[in-house]
Structure 1
Amino acid sequence: MIKESELILNADGSVYHLNLKPENIANLIITVGDPDRIDSITKHFDSVEFKTQKREFQTQTGTYKNKRITVVSTGIGTDNIDIVLNELDALANINLKTREFKEEQQQLTIIRIGTSGSIQKEIPVDAFLASEKAVGFDGLLYYYQSDAFLEKEFAEHLHEYLDLHPHKARPYVVSADQDLVDHFSQDGRVFKGVTGTNVGFYAPQGRVLRAGLQDPNFIDQLTTFKFQDYRITNLEMETSAIYGLSKLLGHKAVSMNAIIANRETGDFSKDSLKAVEHLILYTLDKIITL
């Protein structure tokens, strides 16, 4: 039995941060960083049956073309993903009343719809990218025991190539669910890539305002790195944790990115909201054929 201090529930029996009960979520879950993006997705639904919000975690569950879908906002960063993925899994696979694991484990399908910046010239702004793999620079997965799903050869080559300051966490590499990647990139409009997940937006992604960088060549090295046929294609702040925790907990996940900036060319989308809207519609229409 899981102690009250470890699995914290609200007075109504919902999980602590997400404010959800098991009946409030579907098996198919879309995650977004920005709570305001929830409405941009569910406005296309035929109906919305449930809404809640606590802090940055907003959730709506409804139906799109007869497919029941839950949309959850995570906020920014892998620390928030740690909360969201663990609480979603608890809703699916722990009896919240007895605090015991359910006998039959449920597999969730998790699809991130987010924005990202390309670091390869040939991936232009307003393009879509499905993350085949994610590189985590955050260290989150090292707090969990199992690492059998981590791609250690890839990570070791990257670690040696980057030669980062020793105080930083070693990068780890984890794959998406390949069937989902293939499904969402069938028609050729979607790039496939390796997404770098960073622990911040400024220095961790090589941006300089008033504070200098400890590893000033980090982004240039990421851009030129190659392992087998893989290159680091884009940067954001959640995908590695989504992939890692999904693998650890037995769920399927894919990250769909609207490329709104190209760090190599210096371009930024003329209408990033439109780019995200196009990705939302594309992803929703792919979801109904899963």
Structure 2
Amino acid sequence: MQKLSEADLVINPDGSVYHLNLLPEDIADTIITVGDLDRVPEVSKYFDKIEVKKGKREFITHTGYLGKKRISVVSTGIGTDNIDIVFNELDALVNVDFETRTIKPTLKSLDIIRIGTSGAVQEDIPMGTILASTYGLGLDALMHYYEQNNSAEEKNLLARINSHFSKIEGISPYLTAASNKLLENIAHDMAKGITVTAPGFYAPQGRQVRAKNAVSNFIAQLNSFKFENNRITNLEMETAGIYALAKTLGHNALSVNAILASRVKFEFSSNPNQIVEKAIKTVLERL
């Protein structure tokens, strides 16, 4: 079996993976990702026992037990560039033998649930909603560097989306569905929709401060897309990368979004922490 080079998979002198600073035994088979490193203890405070606390840069990990279930919480930072790091290194921790630098003959599939914040682009989705992403639609370039194996359903929906956005120059979206298993187990009664992952917070999400936007009426272009039972519901910066890399690597992924803003009403929540707390509690109760 081919050996992974020291340049392709960097392992620290203590045997931990390069960025996450974790050993293979440090992570659970069920992982919650959060963008903000300060949100890690907001999740792990509900654990009955914490056995691992490690971190490096913006990547903080707590692993412990909720009852008899072992769970890890990992902060990713913002954006799909960080998702590329986190997901490849999580996968390496469970599917690569670090001593021989070879891929294990039997691969493990992780359950990965993102708990993040987001803004709604539909008027009928109020702030405070906990929304599950049925699909992640990436407007960033991450997955142009990976081979993808999309289903016929994903290809058909993406073709409709590309047609809808044909007048926006310079974008080449990718689309991946959520894990059906996690949707059923965790998000069965949540609001649902297509989540757009943008490569930035300001102009890439239709905001304008001083720099002039190249794409006019961006939010209107998002919320006007409808195909069968599918519509675009919200904007954020990680979901599409999470879904696409999870599928590529053979893991299950679900993005649970705490809706803090209404982009059509130009409003932002006055109690964002309470909404995020509600999302955390809901996910933990259903794991």
Question: How high is the TM-score relative to the length of structure 2?
Answer: 0.96
> Equivalent residue for 1:13?
15
Shift of 1:139: 1.9
Separation of aligned partners in 2, 1:24 and 1:37: 19
Q: Which residue among 153, 158, 162 is the counterpart of 1:159?
A: 162
> Equivalent residue for 1:179?
181
> Equivalent residue for 2:259?
259
> Equivalent residue for 2:99?
97
What amino acid is the match of 1:153? Answer: N
> Equivalent residue for 1:75?
77
Shift of 1:148: 3.1
Deviations 1:134-184 (A, max 9, x none): 101012111012333482222222122123443x23111110001211222
- Partner secondary structure for residue 88 of structure 1: helix
Q: Which residue among 126, 130, 133 is the counterpart of 1:131?
A: 133
What amino acid is the match of 1:279? Answer: A
Shift of 1:270: 1.7
> Equivalent residue for 2:222?
222
Separation of aligned partners in 2, 1:72 and 1:254: 15
Q: Which residue among 109, 119, 122 is the counterpart of 1:120?
A: 122
- Partner secondary structure for residue 138 of structure 1: coil
The answer to whether the Cα contact below 8 Å between 2:61 and 2:73 also exists between their aligned partners in 1 is yes
Separation of aligned partners in 2, 1:5 and 1:185: 39
> Equivalent residue for 2:204?
204
The answer to whether the Cα contact below 8 Å between 2:33 and 2:113 also exists between their aligned partners in 1 is yes
Q: Does 1:278 align with 2:278?
A: yes
Separation of aligned partners in 1, 2:72 and 2:151: 27
Shift of 1:122: 1.0
> Equivalent residue for 2:41?
39
The answer to whether the Cα contact below 8 Å between 1:152 and 1:172 also exists between their aligned partners in 2 is no
> Equivalent residue for 2:67?
65
Separation of aligned partners in 2, 1:98 and 1:149: 34
What amino acid is the match of 1:266? Answer: F
What amino acid is the match of 2:158? Answer: A
Shift of 1:218: 2.0
Separation of aligned partners in 2, 1:138 and 1:64: 35
**Higher mean displacement: 260-269 or 202-211:** 260-269
- Partner secondary structure for residue 196 of structure 1: strand
- Partner secondary structure for residue 6 of structure 1: coil
- Partner secondary structure for residue 37 of structure 2: coil
- Residues matched between the structures, number: 284
Deviations 1:158-211 (A, max 9, x none): 122123443x2311111000121122233x3x2011100000000000000110
**Higher mean displacement: 220-229 or 93-102:** 220-229
**Higher mean displacement: 260-269 or 141-150:** 141-150
What amino acid is the match of 1:233? Answer: T
What amino acid is the match of 2:96? Answer: I
What amino acid is the match of 2:209? Answer: L
What amino acid is the match of 1:162? Answer: F
The answer to whether the Cα contact below 8 Å between 1:121 and 1:262 also exists between their aligned partners in 2 is yes
Identity of aligned residues (%): 49
Question: How high is the TM-score relative to the length of structure 1?
Answer: 0.95
Q: Which runs of 4+ in 1 moved over 6 A?
A: none
- Partner secondary structure for residue 36 of structure 1: helix
> Equivalent residue for 1:249?
249
Structure 2 unaligned blocks of 5 or more: none
The answer to whether the Cα contact below 8 Å between 1:165 and 1:214 also exists between their aligned partners in 2 is no
Deviations 1:45-69 (A, max 9, x none): 1010011110000001001121100
